[in-house]
């Protein structure tokens, strides 16, 4: 029994020695097999110091078109989503009752004016009292005020666009009775999106950076109107729409510890759509040279961010780096790389430290 057990242990030990001896050889063979990669020689390019914030697009102006007088909605002179101009007639409420009110009050005014003239003539003849003249004058003034109110109500039957913009979908169809509720009936909404705003929240440190770099140590509000900003929607490439820092709030939100900032953009193509998520990038420094790589090239694991460099020995070597996000799909390499380094742009997922490579093409650095 002991002899059999000894033989079994001997066989296991032999197998372990064989397997252990094979593994380093297999790993060595794998590292010796060249992996095809594309590389790029690191260079510098001009960049700017940028603070990038999460924000949302808002219209420059937004107004509800409200039926302010009661009546039947007779006309809707727009299609959902139409571009409208200031003063354009968008809806008409039945007008005959209000026209008649104007005529009625006009007639009353004429009557009170005649009565006032008669009373003043009688006063000169000592045929009436001063009290009657004052009452007549009061009646005339009331008639004038009632006529103005009637004219205002008649004007309210025509609903016009308050500014150039885009009208939303209509909320009420023609033929419905509108304006009977408190506050009136909302017929549609008009938004001005050219220009447009992008609102975001900025932390204390970044607010100080704006103050120090844009305002030269003076009040941070001096940056308003001077700091260049860019806005990008999801999926946009490049720097995005260019605008100007339009507003920095004076009060810190005690819950979040942030300030609200706003960028103003001409948005001539109406690319920025209200309600959409947007990245707001604030330029806070002069242009300078820096090492830049596409974000997709930079890898990350528990040790941090890294890339693979190709040395003169044609082997891949890991290089840990420190980066800063730039607008768009690029990162600035703060440390870890220098101009001339050969960085793997394609094929890095198949590499490990010391892997033999075969350079088959040139990638794109930025």
200 and 123 housed in the same domain: no
Does residue 1 sit within a domain? no
Contact indicator for 245, 231 with CB cutoff of 8 Å = no
| pTM beyond 0.85 | no
The reported pLDDT for the residue numbered 165 is 95
Highest averaged pLDDT of the listed ranges 4-18, 32-46, 180-194, 210-224: 180-194
Q: How far apart are CA 242 and CA 195, in angstroms?
A: 12
**What average pLDDT score do residues 46-53 get?**
84
Which secondary structure element, helix H or strand E, spans residue 2, and what is its range? helix 2-32
Does residue 65 sit within a domain? no
Q: What is the dihedral sign for C-alpha 135, 141, 145, 147?
A: positive
pLDDT band at 328 (very low <50, low <70, confident <90, very high): low
pLDDT more than 70, % of the chain:
86
Contact indicator for 331, 323 with CB cutoff of 8 Å = yes
pLDDT band at 125 (very low <50, low <70, confident <90, very high): very high
213 and 272 housed in the same domain: yes
Determine the structural domain holding residue 358 and report its residue range: 31-47+289-362
| Distances from the Cα of 21 to the Cα of 14, 16, 18, 221, angstroms | 11, 8, 5, 70
308 and 262 housed in the same domain: no
Q: How far apart are CA 284 and CA 235, in angstroms?
A: 24
Q: Is the pLDDT of residue 22 over 70?
A: no
Q: Where does a domain end: 256, 271, 287?
A: 287
The reported pLDDT for the residue numbered 358 is 85
Q: What is the pLDDT of residues 141-186, one digit of tens each?
A: 999 999 999 999 999 999 999 999 999 999 999 999 999 888 899 9
What does pLDDT average to over the chain? 86
**What average pLDDT score do residues 36-41 get?**
89
| Count: domains in the chain | 3
């Amino acid at each position: 029994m002991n002899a059999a057990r000894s033989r079994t242990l001997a066989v296991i030990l032999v197998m372990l020695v064989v397997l252990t001896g094979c593994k380093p050889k297999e790993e060595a063979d794998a590292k010796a097999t060249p992996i095809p990669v594309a590389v790029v020689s690191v260079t510098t390019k001009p960049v700017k110091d940028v603070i990038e914030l999460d924000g949302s697009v808002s219209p420059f102006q937004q107004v509800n078109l409200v039926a302010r007088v009661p009546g039947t909605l007779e006309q809707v002179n727009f299609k959902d989503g139409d571009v409208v101009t200031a003063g354009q007639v968008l809806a008409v409420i039945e007008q005959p009752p209000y026209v008649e009110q104007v005529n009625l009050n006009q007639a009353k005014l004429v009557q009170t004016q005649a009565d006032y003239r008669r009373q003043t003539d009688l006063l000169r003849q000592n045929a009436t009292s001063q009290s009657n003249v004052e009452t007549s004058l009061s009646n005339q003034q009331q008639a004038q005020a009632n006529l103005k109110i009637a004219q205002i109500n008649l004007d309210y039957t025509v609903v016009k666009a308050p500014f150039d913009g885009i009208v939303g979908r209509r909320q009420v169809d023609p033929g419905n009775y509108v304006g009977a509720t408190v506050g009136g009936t909302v017929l549609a909404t008009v938004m001005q999106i050219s220009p447009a705003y992008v609102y975001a929240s900025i932390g204390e440190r970044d607010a100080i950076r704006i103050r120090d770099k844009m305002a030269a140590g003076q009040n941070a509000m001096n940056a308003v109107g001077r700091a260049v900003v860019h806005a990008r929607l999801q999926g946009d490439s490049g720097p995005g729409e260019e605008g100007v820092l339009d507003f920095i709030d004076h009060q810190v939100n005690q819950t979040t510890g942030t300030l609200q900032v706003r960028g103003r953009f001409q948005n001539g193509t109406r690319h920025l759509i209200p309600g959409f998520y947007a990245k707001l990038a604030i330029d806070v420094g002069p242009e300078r040279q820096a090492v830049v790589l596409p974000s997709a090239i930079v890898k990350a694991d528990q040790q941090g961010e890294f890339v693979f460099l190709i040395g003169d020995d044609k082997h891949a070597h890991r290089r840990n780096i420190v980066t800063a996000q730039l607008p768009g799909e690029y990162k600035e390499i703060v440390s870890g790389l220098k101009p001339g380094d050969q960085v793997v742009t394609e094929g890095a997922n198949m590499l490990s430290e010391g892997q033999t490579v075969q350079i088959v093409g040139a990638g794109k650095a930025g």
